[in-house]
Chains A and B, each alone.
Chain A
Amino acid sequence: MSTATTPAPAAVSTAPEHGRTRLLRWWPAAVLVLLVVAPWSALPLPGLLDGPVGSPGSLQLLATCLLFGALATGYDLLLGRTGLLSFGHALYFAAGSYATNMFLLEAGLPFAAAAVLGVCFGAALALVLGSVSLRVTGIGFSMVTLAFAQAGSILVSRDPGGFTGGEEGRAAPAELLPSWLVGIDHTANLYWIALAYLVLTLAVVHRAVRSPTGRVWEGIKENERRVEVLGLKPYGFKLTAFVLAGALAAVGGLVHLLLTGGSTPQTTTSDFTLSLLVMVVLGGTGTRWGPMVGGILYTWADHRLGDLAGSGAVADLPAVLRVPLSQPLFLLGVLFVAVVHLLPGGLARLPSRLRRTSEENR
């Protein structure tokens, strides 16, 4: 989705506007500060959130949104930056979550060690499976990653040796976690961890795509054959992207474990990967903020649309309208199809698109 349809970034900064644009460039920092202080805020956001921003329920939802924003950003490293359509990203996320949980429960390691080992396990799994999957290209690669993820999903749900808890999932042992990460009073800490994970992911992805390796990724996305002609071996570069994305996903799994207090088999399914795909495309592949926006929006909508269905406004509607509106996944699926059709490049391209239209009308 990157070729031909991608409009060039709109030209900015004419001379008098220069100072303003320089200030505007710092908006991410301002947003970050706002996000950091959010837990102390009692600001109600009716419609957007159930309670005031600082209430545990809202913080939990916000943290989940941030987590998935970060996860989508990491996934975009494959999809939007390297052009690899992986259908198995959920596996590395789940690996981070389950492995950490196993190290805590079965090996009885302290939390810090379990967390480090869990993430290392996820990265190692990505290295092994990535090095195998990347031997095929195109749709074959998608299918192999799908197969591996499906194998993982089956393993987890069949519960060999009682390690994974099967369909029920497995709760993280509260007594083995640091006390400042457990309980409803400490939701703010979890929120900050999710925020830190988002910042980490954004920073890593930003640095990676600007590095020489990142340039090669871009080349691979546009035309892999040409990269080969230049004398570079795409395989190693693709594997780097795969492992980096896998490791970031594993960290995400760790954050998810803390946030939800356990590992659930839903995170291993192909549907989970597909929802990541939807997030990234919704927001805009290969853009700096797009996947994050897509992830946050999707997660928020997924949670809030469910509440909307229960509200009186929808319940009074005739069945023809009520039934579709009560299914978040239906709305998101339709929205996704609409974005693919009408808004190539996702939401991230919307501002430049609008600007162009208004200039044409002028």
Chain B
Amino acid sequence: MSTIVLLTMTGLGLGALYFLVASGLSLIFGLMDVLNFAHGALLSIGAYGTWWAASGQLPGAGPGGWGFALAVLFGTAVGTLAAVVLELAVVRPLYTRPREQVLATVGVGLAVPALLSGVWGSDARTFPGPEALSGTFALLGADVPVNRLVLVAAAVVVLVALRLFLGRTRHGLVVRAGVEDRAMVTALGIDVRKAFTLVFAIGGCAAALGGALGGLYFGSVDPRQGTSLLIFAFVVVVTGGMGSVTGAAVAAVVIGLVQQFANYYTAAGLGDLAVVVLLAALLLVRPRGLTGRLA
């Protein structure tokens, strides 16, 4: 029983991490038809930003208490900024050439981890975290690490915030309409390009937050972390239906749980394998994803 609880919580934590990456990825793809290969890099930037601040480099920030909250805030802000810069400098000039947009993000996705490993070395760095988040708590007879709970809480907050933003605000309305039919929104005289920058900012923010909290989950940061998470985030995006935030949330939970349980109960690595095979199978059966909406 305690194993199942632990696996469930770990799977949920992993799913939360996937959701943080995939939600932005899904919105960006839904709105702009750009598969953002630099999204993993944004996560890494968030992780390194937080790590840098929490290691005492930023005044006021530190590994414990409010200092750590400030560090997470700093990392998220840096990641958001990076996403905006990415959209304005790299993606925007290529609006008329969709495939080149993808290629350009591939280039950024290669360059950023290389730069990170150039600055801080290619080896994993220990991630400092507050005492309160490094312990465990008892749940149904299992000792569950607290950081899983932090990730899940963050993902829920992001999900609710995104739902509110998309459902209740004017900008959210433009984004939703743009996902449905970009040409029509443009025809109505709305500058969709502002929405492009906005979804990049939102996606970058969520991914960077994922990076900051992912550091707690993994206990370390390394330059390739974001890229290796990206593939599973793709799986989540496709499974959840491109452009759907709720779909991404459901898919993230399913993928995280499947991966954890399969990895534990069958051979190690089989869970990862199962997930990518699931992606292929799903695309072949339902090319538009689980929720069945048009990308």
A150 cross-chain contacts in B, Cβ below 8 A: 231, 276
* Cβ contact of B107, chosen from A133, A135, A139, A340, cutoff 8 A: A340
* Cβ contact of A333, chosen from B94, B99, B107, B269, cutoff 8 A: B107
Verify A147–B273 contact, CB threshold 8 A.
Answer: no
Instruction: Name B91-132 residues within 8 Å CB distance of A.
Output: 93-94, 97, 99-100, 102-104, 106-115, 117-119
Using known A-B contacts A158-B267, A330-B118, determine if residue A5 contacts B110 with beta carbons closer than 8 Å. no
Stretch touching chain A among B45-53, B212-220, B277-285: B277-285
Asked whether any CB of chain B lies closer than 8 Å to the CB of A151, the reply is yes
Interface of A is mostly: helix
A266 to chain B minimum Cβ distance, whole angstroms, is: 12
- The distance in angstroms between the C-alpha atoms of A136 and B286, with both chains bound, is 9
Asked whether any CB of chain A lies closer than 8 Å to the CB of B71, the reply is no
Interface of B is mostly: helix
Binary CB contact string for chain A from 126 to 167 against chain B (1 if under 8 A, 0 otherwise): 000000110110011011101110110011011010000000
Residue of A nearest to B37 (CB): A274
Instruction: Name A294-348 residues within 8 Å CB distance of B.
Output: 323-324, 326-330, 332-334, 336-337, 340-341, 344
Verify A278–B106 contact, CB threshold 8 A.
Answer: yes
Using known A-B contacts A136-B283, A140-B287, A327-B117, determine if residue A146 contacts B231 with beta carbons closer than 8 Å. yes
A324 cross-chain contacts in B, Cβ below 8 A: 115, 118
Asked whether any CB of chain B lies closer than 8 Å to the CB of A77, the reply is no
- The distance in angstroms between the C-alpha atoms of A281 and B119, with both chains bound, is 28
Asked whether any CB of chain A lies closer than 8 Å to the CB of B90, the reply is yes
Asked whether any CB of chain A lies closer than 8 Å to the CB of B238, the reply is yes
Asked whether any CB of chain B lies closer than 8 Å to the CB of A66, the reply is no
* Cβ contact of A340, chosen from B104, B117, B231, B238, cutoff 8 A: B104
- The distance in angstroms between the C-alpha atoms of A334 and B93, with both chains bound, is 16
Using known A-B contacts A5-B97, A323-B118, determine if residue A151 contacts B231 with beta carbons closer than 8 Å. no
Please, could you name 11 A-B residue pairs with CB atoms under 8 Å apart, sorted by A? A5-B97, A135-B284, A136-B283, A148-B276, A151-B273, A155-B273, A275-B110, A278-B107, A323-B119, A324-B115, A333-B114
Residues of B near any A CB (own CB < 8 A): 29, 33, 35, 37, 90, 93-94, 97, 99-100, 102-104, 106-115, 117-119, 227, 231, 234-235, 238, 267-269, 272-273, 276-277, 279-280, 283-284, 287
